[in-house]
Chain A
């Protein structure tokens, strides 16, 4: 509901004989929800603007001959509504039959089998035959050329949720409506494969598609094959966000299932189960050090070759977004690889070395909330170990599918821990999953490194609350105290002292969903307040990784908030909550990256560069 309607006058509405007063402007659908009356919807999505195109939600409004779309009808005068008259029921059934007449439904083999909104509605509204025909053969080819998103327009019902998602949430506009009448379709620029247009692989469209028309590329067969191959050492790193959501796949929404998942993954046959938090913490050290260096160079040495503000680099959707839409700002992006890719590089080098495994026999899998990670691990620059650093990115949905396929009930397996040497997780690593999390983790570390004091001295329980929340673009100022500590050993070679930063105000920003990223970048362009920031966190997906394109379907603001709650709950439960206190991370610096963060070796394995792509691709 819009802000205006909060103060709007109250209007009486009667729906199916029940009375309610609603603020003027409330839609019939919203009013019905308040009354507990279900009106079916399809093109409607909680996250998106109203389209009113599928017409499934039509209802009878007294004194109007035509039926009205409940999702789009704002109540501004008292009205009486009937939601299931014979005319309504007949129209709904017709509409569903029409959609089915165009839909090539191979339901048994569809990735959305059991989770398809079209199928449930057909069942719910008594569709009992193909009154207006049925598509027997697919009419167009699947687009499965890219690494992340597969489009099968034979299953598309043109609800346009994907179009709205890509435009409104992501400000990418890779998808749009083409043609007219019977020739209309959802397409890309010149109908090219999605991988050859500006798509950033975020998968947000997948999460909102009601059917199987959009799906993530499925790599489970390849992973099973690796597991089944006795010569292969198959390891899986698991990102924090999937833990907050995998319960949804097993009837336990909002329940953290991290440790049950570990057991299940081992039962499936993974040789080792690691925690991506290890490299989240490593990222914080590398990226935090890079930030300190940039600040020092810009503010003290007047060297702005690596400009401020520094942008985070852990979200591959965001990275591709800036490569396409703002390539002129690429120098701002931290050169630190994402946690997934740092992990990949460390596994096929240091881990292989200390365990005496030939890296060519290692199959490195990543469980991610994300479809863009599939693209990321296939980027040509991500082969610094001498091999493809990460072989397969799996989504939460794919791993849930593997767990089910192995006959495992996640609800009943015992808990178990992560495997060494990447077994200690910190709270800072966990909160990477939520918007603002990377920033909070970085600030926890940077504050302690500079002041030599505990974050807890400044923020109760080390919770930097001002950074949290779901507001799309956030700007926060933090004061560095006058009293600073000595420069810790880890980074002594980089800055001599902290005098130059004491008493300073650190300005940081957070944006999630690339539409918000665009707002921040435009603000920077215009010289607005974000241009004064020192560090900005960008996440391609709304809510951050918890709302990633690989997470269970459906999604909504409410669902994302529930996942965030799980994440902050886990953070709370960890003993070690700051990246620079992670003993595994400290070990990797003493044993492997001996010259410390942002040194030669770490640059070789843990840092990367970007590709300006522009909006027009050859």
Chain B
């Protein structure tokens, strides 16, 4: 398989973690002790929402169920992110080990990787490496020598809807239904795949857990910021000299990051994908961390030559298309926002109507059923807030 090395731009910790070690260490602990390590590391989910992983695992461990599941969210659908692909291409075994650790912690014997349809080309290599893990005793019966602990993993191919990255839509898709978000609560921790307690974590989260077992919870906790512990992989794209995957500690400012990637002079940076925040140059001193601007790792740099209206149109087209369509605020709301952008392009949107749309955007944030509709208006609100004059002038400046 063609390993996509060229897009790795700096030293990434995963390269230093020997395969197998984290898992072997983890199963020496009791499940409770293992969860405590995860908890003590302060790691939060790397998929975007940033939910504390230790807490998620302890809920799932505590949930009653004759069968439990570990699901790896490898849908990587957020525009501008590709770090999960790079992780799978280079350190897939760390992800498998993280999943096995989750299985051990919560009492699951089955793991499922929900792999983005566009990543079908990775499947063969993943299957091969899973086979190697089985041969090495790191999957299957008595995993890593732990008497009585069985765990195995299979790969399920996704089929191309962005919303299927949302964990409950993902579970619906896994079950063979239309990929649409469920009502939450109940959360997957108590009622997930096939109604059983399920841990859903991002690819990167699992890889970090395996690394934490090797290097220690304190090591991880000591990096990053107080509320955003550890290191994070970033997918950097857009108007920069050196696009690719980078590892930085949480807390890095936008400015520092731009310097590292050759993106100085940017007009704005879209952090966290289309559903994330748009940070204008005047705010480049802001920190990338849950305390300030959160992200699942997507950094899209917008150069001075770009029209913010075009950027916004692109995002809103994406959401109007990718909304699963079940709930009213998201299905119709996104198309109204897109319509508004088009009106701006035609010079037909009044300031008053734009204000109405912003109020609507706020309703979408609080009344939509899932994270898609709740976060899709974020960029709209940011861009209107910071670039209002440009939007009305109809041209970039």
Contact = CB atoms under 8 A, between A and B. Distances in A.
Of A58, A157, A181, the most chain B CB neighbours within 10 A belong to A181
A182 B331 contact: yes
B329 A69 contact: no
Contacts of A102: 332
B363 A177 contact: no
A55 B329 contact: yes
Contacts of B323: 180-182
Contact of B367 (A58, A76, A184): A58
Contact of A181 (B183, B325, B356, B369): B325
A74 B369 contact: no
A155 to B, nearest CB: 15
A377 interface: no
Interface stretch (A46-54, A289-297, A427-435): A46-54
Interface string A41-78: 00000000011111110100000011101001110100
A91 interface: yes
Interface in B121-145: none
Given A55-B368, A98-B328, A180-B161, A131 B322 contact: no
Given A94-B359, A158-B331, A74 B367 contact: no
B335 A181 contact: yes
B97 to A, nearest CB: 34
Of B328, B331, B333, B374, the most chain A CB neighbours within 10 A belong to B328
Of B319, B359, B360, the most chain A CB neighbours within 10 A belong to B360
Given A65-B366, A181-B321, A74 B186 contact: yes
B328 A101 contact: no
B335 to A, nearest CB: 4
B359 A90 contact: yes
Contact of A177 (B161, B325, B359, B368): B325
A99 B328 contact: yes
B369 A91 contact: no
A98 B186 contact: no
Interface in A76-104: 76, 87, 90-91, 94-95, 98-99, 101-102
A87 B366 contact: yes
A101 B332 CA distance: 8
B156 interface: no
Contact of B356 (A67, A99, A131): A131
Contacts of B393: none
Task: Specify the main secondary structure of chain B where it touches its partner.
Answer: helix
Contacts of B336: 98, 101, 132-133
Interface string B281-310: 000000000000000000000000000000
Contacts of B360: 94, 98, 132
A54 B327 contact: yes
Contacts of B148: none
Given A55-B367, A98-B336, A74 B324 contact: no
A182 B317 CA distance: 10
A11 to B, nearest CB: 13
Nearest to A98: B332
A160 B324 CA distance: 14
Contacts of A99: 328, 332
B64 interface: no
A179 interface: yes
B367 A182 contact: no
B178 interface: yes
Given A53-B327, A98-B329, A158-B325, A182 B320 contact: yes
Nearest to A100: B332
A455 to B, nearest CB: 47
Contacts of B369: 52-53, 55, 69
B178 A95 contact: no
Contacts of B176: none
A52 B360 CA distance: 19
Q: How large is the interface on B (under 10, 10 to 19, 20 to 34, 35 or more residues)?
A: 20 to 34
Contact of B324 (A73, A157, A181): A181
Task: Specify the main secondary structure of chain A where it touches its partner.
Answer: loop
A72 B359 contact: no
A74 B335 CA distance: 31
A191 to B, nearest CB: 16
Nearest to A64: B366
A179 B367 CA distance: 22
B60 interface: no
Of A54, A67, A91, A102, the most chain B CB neighbours within 10 A belong to A91
A66 B374 contact: yes
Contacts of B367: 55, 58, 66-67, 91, 94-95
A50 B184 CA distance: 12
Interface in B326-375: 326-329, 331-336, 339, 356, 359-360, 363, 365-369, 374
B185 A76 contact: yes
A184 B327 CA distance: 11
Nearest to B161: A180
A74 B329 CA distance: 22
A94 B183 contact: no
Of B326, B334, B374, the most chain A CB neighbours within 10 A belong to B326
Contacts of B325: 158, 177, 179-184
Nearest to B181: A52
Contact of A91 (B319, B320, B322, B366): B366
Given A180-B322, A182-B334, A95 B366 contact: no
A72 B183 contact: yes
A55 B323 CA distance: 15
Contacts of A182: 320-321, 323, 325, 331-332, 334-335
Interface string B168-188: 000000000010000101100
A62 to B, nearest CB: 14
A24 to B, nearest CB: 12
Contacts of B324: 180-181, 184
Contacts of B186: 74
Contacts of A56: 328
A182 B319 CA distance: 9
A183 B322 CA distance: 10
B271 to A, nearest CB: 20
A99 B367 CA distance: 14
A208 B325 CA distance: 20
A223 B183 CA distance: 47
Contacts of B328: 53-56, 95, 98-99, 157-158
21 contacts: A51-B326, A52-B369, A54-B328, A55-B328, A55-B367, A55-B368, A58-B366, A66-B374, A69-B183, A76-B185, A98-B329, A98-B336, A101-B336, A158-B326, A158-B328, A180-B321, A180-B323, A181-B319, A181-B321, A182-B321, A184-B331
Given A54-B327, A69-B183, A91-B367, 10 more contacts: A58-B366, A67-B367, A72-B183, A90-B359, A90-B363, A94-B360, A180-B163, A180-B325, A182-B323, A184-B326
- Ranked nearest first, the 10 interchain pairs of A and B with the lowest CB-CB distance are A184-B325, A72-B183, A98-B332, A181-B323, A182-B335, A94-B363, A52-B183, A91-B367, A53-B326, A91-B363
